[in-house]
Structures are given as structure tokens and as C-alpha cells.
Amino acid sequence: MSANGVIEVGDANFQSEVLESDKPVIVDFWAAWCGPCRMVSPIVEEIASEYGDKVKVAKLNVDENKETATRYGIMSIPTILLFKNGDIAKQVVGAMPKSALVKELGL
């Protein structure tokens, strides 16, 4: 886990870190060239530090992990998926303020 409480996931560890997690997992699908992704990143880190006891927070680089991004039909980034028990519980596409994102994810 990184210092900010956000873990990096990819094709190799998505199953174990996200789908088999014992608590809900928020996954931020992003890319380095994506401006809105850079706007969302600090918000995702704040959510990890504030809600880390309730949810696991992860980031997945879509350029480096095309298999997982394709499997979940990620067409626009940033896309944030909330997984519960291995299933998608919520999906948020695009950048939004922290308060809206927290509300949308039901945190």
C-alpha cells in the first residue's frame, strides 16, 4: 500500500486485490495523459485517508492494464467503480467534486 492509502492494481493482481477483497473496493481507472484524471486523483487519495477503514481504494492505469479496462468496458476516464463482493455496485464517469463523489459512492 502506498503512503496515501491508495494501492496500485493491474491485470495481474485485480482478482486478489479487488474481486476477492473482504471489504468494498473503489477503483479509479485513469491514465497519465488524462487531465480530468489528475483532478480526481487527490480526491481519491482524500477518500482513501478518510474512509480507509470502510473501503479499500485502488488505482488502475488503463494504458498499462488494457485487459482489465476492456473487461469492465472502460470507454472514458476517469471512471470510478465501486466493487462489493466482486460485483460492480456503483459506477461514476468523469471528474466531480469530492462531496458529489462521496455521495454518489454512498460513503
**Would residue 54 show up in a list of annotated catalytic residues for this protein?**
no
DSSP one-letter string for the chain: --TTSEEE--TTTHIIIIIT-SS-EEEEEE-TT-HHHHHHHHHHHHHHHHHTTT-EEEEEETTT-HHHHHHTT--SSSEEEEEETTEEEEEEES---HHHHHHHHT-
Task: Tell me which of 6, 9, 25, 34 is the catalytic residue.
Answer: 34
Q: Is 39 a catalytic residue?
A: no
Catalytic residue among 7, 37, 43, 57: 37
Which residues are annotated as catalytic? 34, 37
